[in-house]
Structure 1
């Protein structure tokens, strides 16, 4: 059984050096509980699906918040989880945000909110509540004063909660509200209505040994490639804020000074190849080989990437979340999560601020890495997308221009000529820093065992035609109509639905060991009251 030390998983005495089974770790730093007279006061959660008239309801915010809640309650019972009409503006306002020392967004160290959000032209973040309190059905960053009591980490799983573009910055939005916060997590863009953000955040934090900022960004990537997640950290100095942003990986109770802010974000992935998705002449299902995770295979992978083990891999090396292999002395590190996704960390990103390589140069470096490690020997890969991780920061008086910290070249796996379209799977990502160094490789490909006839699609819903679609638009019409009916059931018909550029794809959705042929698209819906939300449409191909 793995042991916990300082919130991280360590190998038990006598285990071979270099192999750490990953179990569910406590995200709170050891010995840093909340003040003794405050009880636990570690976590508070809010989620809204049912909104007042005039705006569209959401479908997955309770599941999203539940992923966060269910993980942390293993270690400490959260103070509260308010839902729908129980989420009112008093929770976020200074007068009651630490009500009875227990309730409100300044009563706990880490707070999670899932719902609608938007930002106005003055950089003020607004959230509609589940009901009206004191004459208001909204809460805004302008009215919040958080961190002067207990809050240190805010998670806003909403649209536009942490903007960094179009003249915005975390300082502009959150400086007045921040009275001791260490980190804030949110989105630069409109986000997808998904049940997975909270669970994926801790899954990525556990499985890959990531710090908070990277776990948040990668959780979003594995939900949709076309949104831009963001995170910010504060500190007394530039070095402290940057260190916190890149390296904070356990919840702490000490307040942070907001002299300096530093933030990072992924941009929406940019396609680097011509994509004109068309329906295939025949749709075949794919059967993928199960991940090979035996101790011998893990040792083989470690040797392949130059990971020093200092001993063999024990039979029980794979924990519930995976395993980390490495000597802990700064050499390459290999993590394999419960899905079989391999992530190799060769080096930290260059922090000198050197300019990033051009997209063409990054693709060349990434292709060399793919060839060097034989990543395309058993699967078909195509250079498909480029994603940048930006960072910027400064003080209330002076903000530095954004710089690229890493460029990630994404190679998509092809099956029978069609791409895998499930975000975060069926791909290889190569990270390259400003010095042209390959920092990380993520291999989420699966070998194909066989192709066969596609399983019959679900029978059409009442009122839907049973005929085979002849175009991508026809195939996506049924899931779009289902979405509109669901949204309209709350009493408001969406005024506009727009397609997110480069989001339409025809290919394979991974479901366990099966690849099902589908058409996939991300759309953005006008939800009323100045709000929007994104949704993923997916239609099976017979």
Structure 2
């Protein structure tokens, strides 16, 4: 183990590992196992923004699906990308889901759908379509039979597509529909209307050693900390299903048995510090120091964490997605992504089923790690959130209770006393397994170079009264009204807007090398027909 109980890091013995540039890898050409031949029947994509009357439209599902589509088309042209009125229920039903051996959700190995979704009280997943076909404008998991032709991986970038809570499980929802699927990706909670899920998934996959499950969960974290992404995998045995869940990283055409299921999810981050929600009297902008990613700096980072390099880091080692150091060694692995975010992997999480440490104990262990590696030497950090990664599984007859696989303690960076509020940036995350061992550290902090006055506010129109907002609700009223006007433009006014707990923050949003003072909040909006969607509100402060 690389990180010892006392926090001392040791470099592994053996041959030195060099640096590997993180390039755009082919999801069918990495890892082990039966990889699909190149050609057709690899990918199918659907996205809906324009929904039938009675439900609110979405804004970013085409961009979301486009992130997935544009990545995979570098290697193989997808069979189809249906949008809006072209997304109809025949695509998902057994009779036509492999239409002409080319079209439908069982015609391709990996299928991606972005749109609305919900789950009823019987554990049935429902998706509204872009139009009516055969008298129906909906598709449901009860009507799907996928995997008896080509499908092996289903991505549902929708709300409530892969639930675990409230008596639900992936087996309850998807067992009848599954006739050969290997993995399903979705959400336990409602999700954010965001353009980034598809693109972020492959960015994370390229950086984490090609692990599909981890990539899906971490992509969601970088979009919003308050949703609950989930992943399920199947296999003939418990060991096979678990290995697929934790390690599968190459799309395969081979069907999987559904004798055993195993699934994992992140819960919504929980605050352990009361947030400061008073508005600053005089907001200052922040300028962050440029990222130092020279070969000498990367070699210094590797040595700091006990990563063995041997000959050092060559010039030009950074690829479009970053680079990885120490890969293939029995010791720490360091990856640096294209933004300069550092992720150090010391060990795989302990899978023996030991109980997770208490929240207080996890914070203590994480604080020791922060001190050991000097992560707060040049930035201000506060331990303010805890996130758990749960896992569970079983057979159609017997499902194990959920257990915590890892506890993640989040240290948020403070700038002038206020937190960075951009998800996935301006933070340190420390992962701790059931044995109390630090498994990973993610350092996404940036050193502050200077603080300064923001841009001057525009003068009010002649004769108009103006008043700066005095509360977060006043500051967020304008973006909320803009959201409601946009949603109402389709003819339906949302009946309810709910604030997501712990999501309101006053702090700095990162834009490149600049930090802008903002108020941020995630809300869930009633979208009609039993549907809901989350939206991020953000208002600049001057």
TM superposition score category, shorter chain reference = over 0.9
Cα-to-partner distance string for 1:320-356 (whole Å, 9 max, x where unaligned): 1000000512210000000000000000000000000
Cα separation, partners in 2 of 1:457 and 1:157, compared to 1, 3 Å: farther
Shift of 1:275: 1.6
Alpha-carbon spacing, 1:37–1:312, altered in 2? closer, same or farther (3 Å): closer
Cα 1:335/1:33, change in 2 over 3 Å: closer
Give the equivalent residue in structure 1 for 2:438: 438
Deviation of 1:3 after TM superposition, in Å, equals 31
Please state how far the C-alpha of 1:274 moved relative to its aligned partner: 1.3
Cα distance in 2, alignment partners of residues 112 and 491 from structure 1: 28
Residue 221 of structure 1: aligned partner: 221
Is this contact kept in 2: 1:8–1:26, CA < 8 A? no
Per the TM alignment, residue 167 of structure 1 is displaced from its structure 2 partner at its CA by 0.2
CA deviations over 1:426-484 (Å, ceiling 9, x no partner):
00000000000000000000000000011246899999985311111110000000000
Residue of structure 2 in register with 1:157 after alignment: 157
CA distance in 2, matches of 1:440, 1:13: 20
- The answer as to whether partners of 2:35 and 2:250 remain within 8 angstroms in 1 is no
Report the Cα distance in structure 1 between the residues aligned to 2:4 and 2:460, rounded to whole angstroms.
Answer: 50
C-alpha displacement of 1:9:
27
SS of 2:4 mapped into structure 1: strand
Q: TM-score when scaled to structure 2? A: 0.95
Residue 148 of structure 1 and its aligned partner are, at CA, apart by 0.2
CA distance in 2, matches of 1:217, 1:339: 19
Partners of 1:416 and 1:10 lie apart in 2 by: 36
Gaps of 5+ in 1: none
CA RMSD in angstroms, aligned pairs only: 4.9
Pair 38,211 (structure 1): closer, same or farther in 2 beyond 3 Å:
closer
Residues 178-234 of structure 1: CA deviation (Å, up to 9, x unaligned): 000000000000000000000000001112324000000000000000000000000
Q: 1:249 and 1:32, CA in 2 relative to 1: closer, same or farther beyond 3 A?
A: closer
**Worse-superposed segment, 466-475 or 112-121:** 466-475
Cα distance change of structure 1 residues 465 and 169 upon mapping to structure 2, 3 Å threshold: farther
Q: Which is worse superposed, 79-88 or 203-212?
A: 203-212
Structure 2 vs 1, CA of residues 11 and 429 (structure 1 numbering), >3 Å: closer, same or farther?
closer
The structural deviation recorded for 1:268 is 0.1
Q: In 1, are the aligned partners of 2:362 and 2:436 still within 8 Å (CA)?
A: yes
Relative distance call for 1:464 and 1:400 in structure 2 (3 A) is: farther
Query: Structure 2 CA distance, aligned partners of 1:81 and 1:498?
Result: 33
Describe the shift of the 1:228–1:529 C-alpha distance in structure 2 as closer, same or farther (beyond 3 A): same
Q: Post-superposition shift, 1:278?
A: 1.2
> 1 CA distance for matches of 2:500 and 2:438?
30
User: Structure 2: which 5+ runs fail to align?
Assistant: none
Higher RCO, Cα 8 Å, sep 6+: 2
Moved more, 461-470 or 500-509: 461-470
Shift of 1:8: 31
* Shift, 1:424, TM fit: 0.3
